[in-house]
Amino acid sequence: MASTVRPFLDGRRGYIAGLGSMLVGSALAWWAASATWVLVERSLLGDSTASEMTNIQAVGLLAVSGGSVVSVAAAAPIIGFAGLADVIGSRGWLRRSVGAFVTITGIVLCASAVRFLSTIAVGSPIPGGVGGSGDQNVVSVSTVWPVVAIVAGLLLLAGGLLTTTVGHRWPTLGAGYERKSAQPRDAWDALDAGLDPTVDEESGLGSNTDTSTAKRPEPEPER
């Protein structure tokens, strides 16, 4: 089983699978970070002391996005898209380093979303600094978007692990260009050596024929 999976991951299919996981994971992370995770009820008069003194209850609802309550949710899509571009344009140890960074991002995103689901509930206070000043209590919690963030983190984790383990064997951006430019470079080398590459191609001799050492017929001695 391992002998069949490893060539699959080493080749172009593994390259596409790794990039696809990072692309879809980054898109889902951006979608989840921009969506509303919680609705909070806050006093428009400031803290509870001001409400008691005026005997007026003025409250409003505030929609809080995932990127506001889970900071890594806002950073994950940026890291994912940047890592995707770096994987395409890099090779070797640099590509594997990018994969490791994306892997860590996916792990942190999953852990943060799970922690949010386990700690934030209706009636609990929203984390400080979100939505300005005033008393704020959660009145509605979305469980869909944190789950989407977990899926995004798992995809980033998978793409990062693939890049870290076998990414150095994947195709590189300049490999095709180098193969295409090999023939013109050989032609210039032939011209520098005093050979005509067009004549060599037409005659079928090839550019490797060494005409300088070819034996020529010796002239017959005069009688």
Q: Is the pLDDT of residue 58 over 80?
A: no
Between 42 and 182, name the one with better pLDDT.
42
Q: Please name the amino acid found at residue 28.
A: L
Domain ranges of the chain: 2-173, 174-210
For the segment 98-117, what is each residue's pLDDT rounded down to a tens digit? 999 999 999 999 999 999 98
Mean pLDDT of 70-77: 92
What tokens were used for 106?
């996916």
Nearest C-alpha neighbor of 99 from the set 170, 151, 148, 149: 170
Amino acid letter, residue 147: V
The radius of gyration of the chain's CA atoms, rounded to the nearest angstrom, is 32
In this prediction, residue 111 carries a pLDDT of 95
Secondary structure string (H, E, C) spanning the chain: CHHHHHHHHHCHHHHHHHHHHHHHHHHHHHHHHHCEEEEEEEECCCCHHHHHHHCCCCEEEEEEEHHHHCHHHHHHHHHHHHHHHHHHHCCHHHHHHHHHHHHHHHHHHHHHHHHHHHHCCCCCECCCCCCCCCCEEEEEECCHHHHHHHHHHHHHHHHHHHHHHHHHHCCCCCHHHHHHCHHHHHHHHHHHCCCCHHHHHHHCCCCCCCCCCCCCCCCCCCC
Inter-residue contact 144 to 10 (CB < 8 Å): no
CA distance 151 to 154: 5
Over the chain, what is the mean pLDDT?
A: 75
**pLDDT of res. 25:** 95
pLDDT at 178 > cutoff 50: no
Q: What is the pLDDT of residue 2?
A: 46
CATH topology of domain 2-173: Butyryl-CoA Dehydrogenase, subunit A; domain 3 (1.20.140)
